[in-house]
Amino acid sequence: MKEEKEIFERVFDDYTMKTLVVLRRKKKFDSLEFPISTGKEADVYRASASFDEKESYVAVKIYRIETSNFKAMQDYLIGDPRFEHVKKTKRGVISAWCQKEYRNLSDALKAGVRAPKPIASMNNVLIMEFIGEEGNPAPMLKNVEVEDAEKLIKTLTGYVKKLWKSGLVHGDLSEFNVLMKRGNPFLIDWAQAMSTKHPIALELLQRDLKNIKRIARKRGVDFDYEEVLSSIVRR
């Protein structure tokens, strides 16, 4: 009980509670229900919601003010022209981090990549589409046996190509950040995604492709890392 209380207090501080109250008043969600995933920096909750008089669910991601890696977030924001004037405070950086994830989700969807649809971003709270069925969250790729592994690798590689063509790179594509719904992969955790014009964009692209290579090897699929990287960069 003591540990649960400490976790609750770390996540739901006064600042976060006030933010949630405002978002609820704006009818972005009805009520928080239970955690879908928990981490050192952020927790994601399933929440009930009503859109167009239809009962539904949304995912509510809450970044922890005290335990988030403030320095790492700041490093990823530097060089992004969208966030040149971010306040150098924890709250300012985390708020920009949330806005960045919202923006990246929107850009990914425009590029033709399956990802949660962003709904609202305020302070340290991001609300987005709930990826799952009948109220159950979709499983991570690492926990799923895929029937057509070649199709999966082709789809993930296609996502990376579409993103790069549109001027974006995910930077953290892994089995933990891919949700599987009806055989289709959805990419999540977009806050670190960057413009292809950023100095470390190529490094992030290489990281994503190496992770796809690991996924392919694990599932017995051939993946020519050098050829795929070359074909993307040549574009």
Query: Among 136, 167, 189, which residue terminates a domain?
Result: 136
Does residue 172 carry a catalytic annotation? Answer: yes
Which of 88, 121, 136 represents a domain boundary (last residue)? 136
Tens digit of pLDDT for each residue in 100-148?
999 999 999 999 999 999 999 999 999 999 999 999 999 999 999 999 9
In sequence order, what DSSP letters do the residues of 12-24 get, joined into one string? Answer: S-HHHHHHHHHHH
Q: What is the pLDDT of residues 155-203, one digit of tens each?
A: 999 999 999 999 999 999 999 999 999 999 999 999 999 999 888 899 9
Residues 126 and 149 in one domain: no
Give residue 152's Cα distance to chain centre.
19
**What's the CATH number where 224 sits?**
1.10.510.10
Largest CA distance in the chain: 56
Instruction: State the chain's mean pLDDT as an integer.
Output: 89
Verify that 168 and 120 share a domain, yes or no.
no
Residues 132 and 144 in one domain: no
Whether residue 205 is predicted with pLDDT greater than 80 in this model: the reply is yes
What is the pLDDT, as a whole number, of residue 10? 59
Question: Which domain covers residue 69, as residue numbers?
Answer: 2-136
Residue 88 and residue 66 share a domain = yes
Question: How many residues does this entry show for the chain?
Answer: 235
Distances (CA, A) of 16 to 8, 85, 117: 11, 23, 22
Whether residue 175 is found in the same domain as residue 114 = no
SS3 track for 49-66: EEECCEEEEEEEEEECCC
Indicate which residue of 43, 107, 172, 208 is catalytic: 172
Q: Catalytic pick from 43, 107, 189, 208?
A: 189
Q: What total of structural domains would you count in the chain?
A: 2
The reply to whether 109 and 146 lie within a common domain is no
